[in-house]
């Protein structure tokens, strides 16, 4: 009888060990995005930096550091002109990037794309998507593909009223995170 109880317990332990720290639940999916959330504001600022330096809609690669480690490099296109509305299509390349020191991100191959529509700058609205694959290490490991929609409000930054950021508590993030273990719902507000 002891042997029969041991086999199912052993199979359960092996099944759990296979999941490791990969994205294998809605909580993991939420965390996979949350650790990446600050990169959205950095990407937006780098998009404007590229816009200010560009002579066409295409921007040269712009780089910034993660809060803890690594770099984010943004390239792509930003609408030209002085309109208070901007559309950005930004390619996001991450190298050992981490803002929280818990999850580190890398990208390779086709870069994830952050599409943003900013209306009524500096205190208008933001709508967009983040789509692409990331490799994670640390508290979460493995590959995850994010397919997310973002919508929220904008505000001038405290440090520099000529720059904008997402207004805290207004950005709704919905969509999916897909790993080798399945597709999980992401639904949160930041």
> Could you read off the pLDDT of 88-144 as tens digits, one per residue?
999 999 999 999 999 999 999 999 999 999 999 999 999 999 999 999 999 999 999
> Do residues 184 and 23 lie in contact, with contact meaning Cβ atoms separated by under 8 Å?
yes
DSSP 8-class letter at 111: P
pLDDT at 8: 45
Q: Which residues of the chain have pLDDT under 50?
A: 1-19
pTM of the model: 0.88
Place of tokens 């490791």: 20
pLDDT at 97: 98
> Could you read off the pLDDT of 121-130 as tens digits, one per residue?
999 999 999 9
> Which of 150, 84, 82 minimizes the C-alpha distance to 118?
84
Q: What are the sequence ranges of the domains in the chain?
A: 22-189
pLDDT at 16: 41
pLDDT at 49: 92
pLDDT at 52: 86
């Amino acid at each position: 009888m002891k042997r029969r109880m041991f086999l199912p317990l052993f199979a359960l332990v092996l099944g759990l060990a296979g999941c490791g720290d990969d994205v294998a639940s809605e909580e993991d999916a939420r965390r996979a995005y949350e650790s990446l959330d600050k990169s959205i504001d950095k990407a937006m600022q780098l998009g404007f930096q590229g816009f200010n330096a560009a002579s066409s809609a295409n921007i040269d690669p712009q780089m910034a550091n993660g809060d803890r480690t690594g770099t984010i490099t943004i390239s792509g296109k930003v609408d030209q002109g002085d309109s208070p509305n901007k559309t950005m299509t930004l390619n996001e390349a991450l190298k050992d990037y981490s803002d929280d020191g818990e999850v580190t991100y890398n990208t390779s191959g086709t870069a994830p794309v952050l599409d943003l529509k900013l209306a009524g700058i500096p205190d208008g609205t933001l709508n967009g998507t983040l789509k692409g694959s990331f490799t994670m290490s640390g508290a979460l490991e493995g590959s995850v593909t994010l397919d997310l929609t973002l919508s929220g409000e904008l505000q001038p930054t405290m440090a520099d009223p000529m720059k904008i950021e997402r207004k805290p508590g207004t950005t709704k993030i919905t969509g999916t995170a897909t790993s080798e273990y399945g597709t999980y719902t992401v639904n949160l507000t930041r």
